[in-house]
Each structure stands twice: as structure tokens, then as C-alpha cells.
Structure 1
Amino acid sequence: MIMSVADTSQDRIEREIQIDAPIERVFQLVSEPGWFIGDGDPGKTTTTREGDVFVMNFPPYGRFPILPVKSDAPHYVSFRGGDDPARPLVEGTSTLVEFFLFERDGGTLLRVVESGFAALYPSAERRASAIEGNVEGWEIQLAFAKRDAESGRGE
């Protein structure tokens, strides 16, 4: 079951899912830069590296830069992400995507928190649209994470 919360400040999304797989396996999956870009078929995306930034190319939707920020295996990993590879990935020009992993009920509770929408999208209309799209996107991506971790894909 996926749980979703968009806070009242319209600046963050929180979602979580229970995955029936060991925390180490889930961490291996979610610590891969840009794993959450695409439609669940890794063959449709290509990754290039430009310094510390990973650029995910996902035709026909575009190129998405991902900057690894912090990792504390197997419980936490974070990235900055944006929609323009030409812009630096810093606060105000990107969102912060954080993954928190907890051992629970013989599996892993995976929580994603994406924040920074208010600074990235000053227009309330554009911000609401971005949040709405990302809420739907996280539902899809967490389902892919569950599928892949439970099946052992990528090991």
C-alpha cells in the first residue's frame, strides 16, 4: 500500500510503501542515481555523467540531472534533481529527494520525501501542477521499486 501526503505549504511530498525484501536490497536499488526516472524499463533510459551530476536521458520527455547529496547505508540516501541540465543543482533550482529506509515486519518500509517546490516554482499554479505530477510519479516509481526489490531484479 502506498501512502501519500502533500503538505499544506505546497513545498513537499511524502510517500511510503512496504516492500517485502531485505533493507540492503532496497537500499541498493534506491541509492542508484536517477533510478526513479522512467517508466520502469531501464532499457529506455540512458545515463551520462557530467562531473558529479548524473544526467538521465528519457526520450521523449527529456534530460534530467541528478546530483547525489548524502548516503548513510542502508537507511538513508538523498539526491537533488531538476528539469534543466544547464542549471546548477542547488537549493532553489532543484528539489531534494530523500529516501528513508526502515526494517519493518520482515521487510523494508521505504519513505520518499521530495521538497523544495516553493523555491523552484514561485508561481502557485506551476507549483501545484509540479506537485500533482510528482505525487502521481512517486506512486508509479514506488510500485516499480517494490516490484524490482521483491523480485531481486538488478542483483
Structure 2
Amino acid sequence: MDDIEREIVIHAPAARVWALVSEAGWWIGDGDRGGQTRSREADDIDVVTDPRYGTFRIRTEKAEPHSYLAYRWLDDGNERATTLVEFWLSEADGVTTLKVVESGFVSTEHRDGNIRGWRMQLDLAKAECER
């Protein structure tokens, strides 16, 4: 199954973009995170509950501040049925390129839905970070 790869240019420093992408599950929902709740299940596992979309467990796999983050969706402990979401940030002259790659899809339907989702989420990230 093919990976999803997207990138966007954000007119903001990497530190500002990092502040957003280092919040596990920031991409859950339709951009309004105001009704979401977040909790910590373990040192590396966050739980995000969105009133519309449900509850999601996300493990932080690796973090290199201001340049790279990797998260894994956790599905009732079945890691084989999850995807890996990786973010790369690179900054030049106060402008940051944010790249996302999601890999490990088990179905075409799941992948196709996330293609549209990442397009929307990167646009939301750009709008939020450029404010």
C-alpha cells in the first residue's frame, strides 16, 4: 500500500510550527480543537478525545525538537493495524517547510480518506501558524 506524502510552506519560524506539531494528535478533527480533551496514558502515549470523531491513542515514537517527529496510531494494541505519521520541519529565513508522511495502511479506503484529510490538516496548520 502506498504512503501518503504531503508538504506545505508556512511563513513562520520552525519553533512556532513545532509548537503545533509536537502536540500529539493535533491533526484530529476539522480544525476546532476547542472541544477536545487530552490526557497522558503513559510517558509516550497521549489520548485525544474529540466530541465528534471519538477517542484516539497516539504513541510518540521519536522526537528531534524543531526538525522531526514520529507518532503511531494505536488501535487497541494491534500495532499491525496502525499507521506511522512522521513530520519533518526545515526552516530558511523564517519560513518553514512542513512535510508529513503517513505509512502502514492496511486498506485503500483508509488511505484514500486520509489523503483528503492531510490536505485539509496542512492548510489548517498553515493558517494557525501564520496568525
TM-score for the superposition, normalised by structure 2 = 0.91
Query: Matches of residues 96-107 of structure 1 in structure 2 within 5 Å?
Result: 96-104=84-92, 106-107=94-95
Aligned partner (choices 43, 47, 50) of residue 38 of structure 2: 47
Equivalent in the alignment of 1:15: 6
The alpha-carbon deviation at position 110 of structure 1 amounts to 0.3
Higher RCO (CA < 8 A, seq sep 6+):
2
Aligned length: 130
The alpha-carbon deviation at position 24 of structure 1 amounts to 1.1
Moved >2 Å (runs of 4+): none
Q: What SS class does the counterpart of residue 24 from structure 1 fall into?
A: helix
Equivalent in the alignment of 1:115: 103
* Percent identity over paired residues: 48
Q: Is the 8 A contact 2:14 2:94 kept in 1?
A: no
Q: Which runs of 5 or more structure 2 residues have no equivalent in the other structure?
A: none
Q: Which runs of 5 or more structure 1 residues have no equivalent in the other structure?
A: 1-9, 122-126
Kindly provide the amino acid, as one letter, of the partner of residue 150 in structure 1. E
Q: Is the 8 A contact 1:67 1:89 kept in 2?
A: no
Q: Is the 8 A contact 2:36 2:49 kept in 1?
A: yes
The 3 A distance-change label for structure 1 pair 106 and 49 is closer
Aligned partner (choices 85, 103, 108) of residue 128 of structure 1: 108
RMSD: 1.5
